[in-house]
Chains A and B, each alone.
Chain A
Amino acid sequence: AIQLTQSPSSLSASVGDRVTIFCRASQDIRSELAWYQQKPGMAPNLLISDASTLEGGVPSRFSGSGSGTDFSLTISSLQPEDFATYYCQQFDNFPLTFGGGTKVEIK
């Protein structure tokens, strides 16, 4: 199975900060990567597919980049509603796998 390693596992940041989360795959997954946001007690929400394609309705302060084994999710200016846990997920092949998550907390 393809392993996804997210870093950091948690971070503290202030409103307005630029934040970058990393996701490394154990093998080449081309651009078959998605990013999700999950708030406490809620289901995950798809933010980005195909490594860099923003979902409709997702604010433009979110962006994704990368291909192959190294990927990143950037929030250009952190807003209060962005404090949540973020997961990457590969869909290059089965079994589908997720990264361990990155919790973004308020500093």
Chain B
Amino acid sequence: QVQLVESGGGVVHPGGSLTLSCAASGFTFGYYAMHWVRQAPGKGLEWVAFMRFDGSDRKYADSVKGRFTISRDNSKNTLYLQLSGLRVEDTAVYYCAKDRHWHFDVWGRGTPVTVSS
């Protein structure tokens, strides 16, 4: 079955860095664009980043531009999100999601990131 499994979340100090991974299975990963979406505790959903199926285009939310980097390795069926310059307000559950024309038809369970001193 189609599945996305995130990993790499944890607790980090402000200004720190972290790399999240999303392992895909059950579909031809290299054919699909992918996204990261996050949800702060008790809050709504916020789209974070997009990468085209072949890596030729990336887009970011203004709130993370210049600090986060989305990447992918189609040979490993894996999506990544490098987080740097982390701020307290980046605390959230981070979901990866499979693209269907810029909306999200499959979601992972998420990985939590806590930024705290």
Contacts and interface: CB of A to CB of B under 8 A. Distances in A.
Given A91-B102, A94-B50, A43 B107 contact: yes
Contacts of A44: 45, 95, 104, 107
B96 to A, nearest CB: 10
Interface residue tally of chain B, by bracket?
Answer: 20 to 34
Contacts of A55: 105
Given A43-B107, A44-B107, A91 B44 contact: no
Contacts of A71: none
Nearest to A34: B103
Interface residue tally of chain A, by bracket?
Answer: 20 to 34
Interface in A33-63: 34, 36, 38, 42-46, 49, 55
Contact of B103 (A91, A94, A99): A91
Contacts, number: 55
A98 B44 contact: yes
Contacts of A34: 103-104
Contact of B105 (A1, A46, A94, A96): A46
A46 B103 CA distance: 9
Q: Is the interface of B mostly helix, strand, loop or mixed?
A: strand
A95 B103 contact: no
A38 B61 CA distance: 22
B56 to A, nearest CB: 15
A49 B103 contact: yes
Interface string B76-117: 000000000000000000010000111111011110000000
A44 B50 CA distance: 17
A89 interface: yes
A83 interface: no
Nearest to A55: B105
A87 B108 CA distance: 17
Contacts of A66: none
Given A43-B95, A94-B50, A101 B44 contact: yes
Contacts of A42: 109
Interface in A1-43: 1, 32, 34, 36, 38, 42-43
